Amino acid sequence: MVQAFFTAAVLLIISIGAMFGHYLYKDTQLLQDHIQKITILTKGSTLSFSTAYYEPRIAIQTSSNPAYPQMQTINRMDFIYAK
Amino acid sequence: MQNSTFLYFLTRLLFKQKSKHIGAVLISILIIFLLSAVLFISTSLQSTLMQTLKNQADFTVTRLKAGYPTQTPLEWIDKISELNGVSAVAPRVYGQYFFTPREKSFLIIGVDFFEEQNAQILKEIIGNLELKPFLSEDSMLVGEGVKIFLNAHYFKKYFTFKTPQGKFKKVHIHKMLAQESNLIANDMILMPLKLAQEILGMEEEEITDIAFNVPNDAEWDNIISKLHLMFYDVRVVEKREVQKAYENLYNYKGGLFLVLYLITIVTFMLILYQRYTMVYSTERKEIGILRAIGWSINDVLKLKFYENIVIVVVSFVLGVVLAYGYVFILDAPLLSQIFLGAANLENSVVFIPSIPFGLLGSIFLFYAVPFLAAVLIPAWKIAVTSPKEAML
């Protein structure tokens, strides 16, 4: 039983090693370069939220209901943004 | 008690009673997996955005009308340029184009392709982009989401925009932006400034806002005051505000997810506590036998502690490793839609690995301490009773 336990422990350690290996050696430079360059080109950056047209697409925009612009809306993003 | 004997007994016990532990392990893995996945996604998005900050303008100025942003006059650029300490004043033209038949929208951004830096960057991100043919006709560069959407609707080479004046504008789809930039450019359309103005219904002398830098930080507040004195109907957004917005974005402390997690973990602990307080007769018998053969209360608690710490560590490690693979190898299918939305164009993003070690440590403590308490307190209650009574 001790042997089975050690085998399980080794497998667990290998999985942690694989995770850190991926974390340390994954080439993220290309991804970061592209994002930085688009930011320079557009002079601003915001996540590409796939939101409905009346929800804020730009991070600092506020949303309003097109039918009742004066009404405060609550949308999914309100739960994600800490106000 | 010799350590090797204790370890042997512990491991035998764990493997023999695996059916007893499997439920707790599976639920724990699920909770840790979900929480870690959410944290990995939010930390990755936040760190990516924070890195883009250094390339963003220090200030953006927009004109307000009745409290809403409206077109900013181009002449403001000259006025702002005259301020001391201001540099790199540039117009920005952007806006959303709503494609009514499918209720989808694109983010149109006007770019000055004649600016040397912009032309250079374009060549770098789009391998063999020739500017001459690109600028010789009305052309645009589109994000992957836009490209897929337009292809699906048979706009393979051209797309016809409808301007607010009711005119149609046929624009050539020149190239697609690299998939690597999907995180910020999935629904983006880049086109020359003039063309963007026309499609968004702006006059030649109108822009969306003005971006500029103030290299000396100490001058920032002074510049804001000057801008407010110069224009009465203006909204100034500082980089500091954007930074704060990014810091608060997906803030785990203010997020819905933490509340959900707390509810789940408390429920789980209650179930666990209830289960162990109504300990099965076998469990009571087991503790009673150990006490009867001479184990001290301390030894029994030590056994229960190590037995459960193994379960806690295994569940935690498996939960975190699975979440890492799900987010950074599989790119978080389904869960990413909670963060980025799914109401508009489909977005397949690649997350840049980022591990919040401090947060993971806190989660481990918040998870391990109640878990162990929920198990050890009932075990201690049985261990302190006489062996005869415990075995009844």
**Structure confidence by residue, pLDDT tens digits, B339-360:** 888 888 888 888 999 888 988 8
Domain boundaries, chain B: 3-51+250-390, 59-213
Contacts with A59 from chain B: Cβ below 8 Å: 242, 245-246, 249
pLDDT for B149 equals: 93
Give the pairing of strands B104-111 and B188-192.
parallel
CB atoms within 10 A of CB A56: 18
Q: For residues B104 and B152, is the Cβ–Cβ distance under 8 A?
A: no
- Give the integer Cα–Cα distance in Å for B75 and A41: 22
Q: For residues B62 and B386, is the Cβ–Cβ distance under 8 A?
A: no
Q: Who among B56, B125, B343 is closest to A45 (CB)?
A: B56
For the stretch B24-45, pLDDT in tens is 889 889 989 988 998 898 889 8
The yes-or-no verdict on residue B80 having pLDDT over 70 is: yes
Note whether A45 contacts B256, CB cutoff 8 Å: no
B194-199 mean pLDDT: 93
- Give the integer Cα–Cα distance in Å for B250 and B189: 26
Instruction: Spell out the alpha helix ranges (H) of B126-278.
Output: 131-136, 144-152, 182-185, 193-199, 220-230, 239-248, 256-277
pLDDT for A83 equals: 46
The yes-or-no verdict on residue B263 having pLDDT over 90 is: no
Percent with pLDDT over 90 in chain B: 31
Kindly report which listed range (A63-72, B53-62, B105-114) carries the lowest average pLDDT score: A63-72
For the stretch A9-65, pLDDT in tens is 999 999 999 999 999 998 888 888 888 989 888 887 777 888 777 766 655 555 554
The yes-or-no verdict on residue B213 having pLDDT over 80 is: yes
Higher pLDDT, residue A64 or B243: B243
Which H or E run includes B359? helix B357-383
The yes-or-no verdict on residue B64 having pLDDT over 80 is: yes
- Give the integer Cα–Cα distance in Å for A59 and A47: 8
The yes-or-no verdict on residue B377 having pLDDT over 70 is: yes
- Predicted ipTM beyond 0.90: no
pLDDT for A62 equals: 53
Higher pLDDT, residue B255 or A82: B255
The whole-chain average pLDDT of chain B stands at: 86
Nearest CA-CA partner of A34 in B42, B176, B250: B176
pLDDT band at B380 (very low <50, low <70, confident <90, very high): confident
Note whether A44 contacts B211, CB cutoff 8 Å: yes
**Phi, psi of B213, rounded to the nearest 5 degrees:** -110, 150
Q: For residues A1 and B15, is the Cβ–Cβ distance under 8 A?
A: yes
DSSP state of B249: B
pLDDT for B273 equals: 75
Note whether B56 contacts A52, CB cutoff 8 Å: no
pLDDT for B280 equals: 62
Contacts with B121 from chain A: Cβ below 8 Å: 37, 40-41
